[in-house]
Structure 1
């Protein structure tokens, strides 16, 4: 039981950092009005946190060295709390961006440690469930953070939303300190170890797959609202409920992938990559199939299935990473977190550039092509077929 309570504290940590990362999405207008800046400038609060997280993921394990991982995670949660307090008190955009840098550090650090520590907390036969639980925190934050933050922001102001996130982070820090056992570093992470893992063919193939798939997904998903409104005719009233339902199907995909991926990681990842490619491609065709295929029901069905496939990506890819580097879980986990966060930012950038030069359909075709390329990578690159 104590092991699962410890896993629950890790889930709370992944939930808290992901919620903090996404919180500004529903508050951009309020932040812009409050600090007298444009919504585009306020949007930097989201982009900056993701970029810093990509850099911090390998940097935090290097910085903490041999420090007990229980203390490391509790310290990262307290850093997150301080960042959210600073966000709530920020008198200017510059101070708010500084606070978001601190959020990025906490985000990258927690992601770097979470999966490797989950493996140490439960018996070998329960690892798949533990990974699904830990990464379930990310899925739950995806579903709940933006609408909850928006509700608090509308009711009490955007600063209150950041204050609530600070309180959550303090509670998580206490839970981590109380529920995690002592977790001494298995070995200190050194720069040479990170470089050595880049030479691991199986790990490298998994990370290339992950980068292509996540860039492809976010290049399309970032612009899913205008796609649904303009191409499929989905009304604004339906859109909010649909995106919430998408988050629920993401959680379902996370659970299913957590059960299956540790036993058959390659088959699961090929299914996820192919499924995302197919869904994004189908969404690009929805408008052109009318009236023989009603566009709104078709778009709703495609988006919900897309959520199932994408929801399994984080835990499925992490299962591959742990299998590829069983003796270097922390360095491999740090590289995983770095690639994942960098790919989220890159996906939004790629989608924006394609949209500027082309159309919404071009954005979807680009996303589908990148997702399909990830499947090819996992089929032909060295290390793709070796072992389980």
Structure 2
């Protein structure tokens, strides 16, 4: 008889195939202590997500400025988005496993400090290769922080607050588009792109202080071993499907969004002076979309999102005129705003007993898809035309909609046996 089956030992969970640790911290949704302290900690984590996503996407509004100053094309400058995305994709599972039994509070603080240092270094770099090296460190921070932070809301607040707290944490993603990217673009226009990078570095230091002050000690629920990650993909079809949908949606998004500035200027005919304002509107719409999606069924939300984005991205590629471009951009922000929180909810629901491992897989694919989208979009823009980037994104969104629909059908057919199909 194995230890897992011995009398008195807990049975393995179907999601992870491993036994829960009897000495582990409270299960998700059992946040203890004053509620306001839990919400303050959630806000600190949300600020961290905001800071990191702002850092990752900051070059979107600065591609032309950085390229002109350092002597590279827009497509090459897009590597500032590709490199951290690629690194973050690999580092999400590596950091999650490598963190072992270390206090998650300490890990998050180290990662945010690394991000701050990387942005300050980029602000001082005199060569594009040095900027890319700094962006590599940003990728390490993004991948590790997001993978660990994604499921923390459930440990910080009571069970009936978890959905709203998770939406708040992931509200940092679209809010980065609302405030971070437009503010960075504006700073770049007023004081140069180096000022924008330095400002994000300073924001990172402020975020570090907030995490140190507001986060309680967060010992891991249990350490994660590397073999558990591929096992989770093999044994849990809900996690598998979530990873595929993440790749398709996010690659399609960033094939288009990384080059939104040339698209708005070349296709929609919008003056460059108004791009920052329009990106601000995009972000405001994204925040609304995030909170609208937070309490809804992840499958239905992602099916709606991917279907709508198929139409929006195809339309923005072919419809000229500032009115059409502005309307489509705002609709784009509203619809895409629900993606991050919906994907996180999908993964936690697919593997509730292995939430950190499932989250790390989603974050890994999310960031690899950012890199893939930025790379494919750059090749399309440099090799074909600006219109090719959103058209390629639309095709990937259509594939995502089909994947979600098939997964939803299988989920219904599986009956009450599994919220999300385990291996049939």
Q: TM-score, normalised by structure 1?
A: 0.89
- 1:299 to 1:54, Cα distance in 2 relative to 1, 3 A: same
SS in 2 for 1:259: coil
Q: Which has the higher helix share?
A: 1
Counterpart residue number, 2:348: 322
Return the offset for 1:358. 4.8
Alignment partner of 1:186 is 2:221:
yes
Return the offset for 1:383. 5.7
Counterpart residue number, 2:109: 74
Q: How many residues align?
A: 377
SS in 2 for 1:189: coil
Aligned partner (choices 48, 62, 65) of residue 97 of structure 2: 62
2:121, 2:50 → 1: CA distance?
20
- Maintained 8 Å contact 1:205/1:384: no
Counterpart residue number, 1:211: 247
1:353, 1:160 → 2: CA distance?
29
How do residues 243-254 of structure 1 correspond to structure 2 at under 5 angstroms?
243-254=279-290
Alignment partner of 1:222 is 2:261:
no
Instruction: Judge which range, 248-257 or 368-377, deviates more.
Output: 368-377
Return 5+ residue gaps in structure 1 as ranges: 288-294
2:391, 2:86 → 1: CA distance?
25
Aligned partner (choices 281, 292, 305) of residue 314 of structure 2: 281
1:247, 1:49 → 2: CA distance?
21
Aligned partner (choices 359, 374, 379) of residue 400 of structure 2: 374
Counterpart residue number, 2:84: 49
SS in 2 for 1:116: coil
Return the offset for 1:247. 1.3
Return 5+ residue gaps in structure 2 as ranges: 1-35, 413-417
2:43, 2:289 → 1: CA distance?
19
1:314, 1:273 → 2: CA distance?
13
Alignment partner of 1:299 is 2:325:
yes
Alignment partner of 1:142 is 2:174:
no
Alignment partner of 1:121 is 2:173:
no
2:361, 2:58 → 1: CA distance?
25
SS in 1 for 2:150: helix
Aligned partner (choices 62, 69, 72) of residue 38 of structure 1: 72
Aligned partner (choices 199, 211, 224) of residue 164 of structure 1: 199
Aligned partner (choices 343, 348, 354) of residue 369 of structure 2: 343
Q: TM-score, normalised by structure 2?
A: 0.81
Counterpart residue number, 2:302: 269
Return the offset for 1:187. 1.1
